[in-house]
Structure 1
């Protein structure tokens, strides 16, 4: 979506915008970073050798993504972009629900009496 929005933008329209500093470093190519411009790293992903902790981390990540899409929708003035963001936001809600179901299954398994 981001590439589609900028692929045909002339350099004159990019100058004197917040996108200009990004363009100087990366052109119109995608370069994963957060809103402050810090590059994405694997340190953004948290994991433990504990399925309950990991599922809680997944649940939190889905809610953070949903909130980010809502903030983007609030500042979008392009109907096509807004529709895409709404779809992506709803996808995060479904992911959250599925992770919640997985958490219930794991907790039920752990709480089940074990017979050996």
Structure 2
């Protein structure tokens, strides 16, 4: 149960993280409605979104970490988080940006990251 809860919280936290890091490109970029918004305002908005990411990320790591009774080592948690980040990023980018394209090189790179998860968890 801790493993599933940890992974679920990691997915949710990465949704907030992806919006904090890349959402401004959609909403405050050249095709957005607020193209003249000051950079410092955009940074503050991103920080505000990132706050909610941390409210999910910290419990995910505490639940999942073997340091606090969870099922995952620190390395396993980190690799899981990276793969989840990529999955969330691809879904977000496909939904939010019309010009987002995945090439065969991207897919090969993602497959290698999934292989990394396999080898990290195998050892």
TM-score (norm 2): 0.41
Query: Whose Rg is larger?
Result: 1
Structure with more contact order per residue of length (Cα contacts < 8 Å, sep ≥ 6): 2
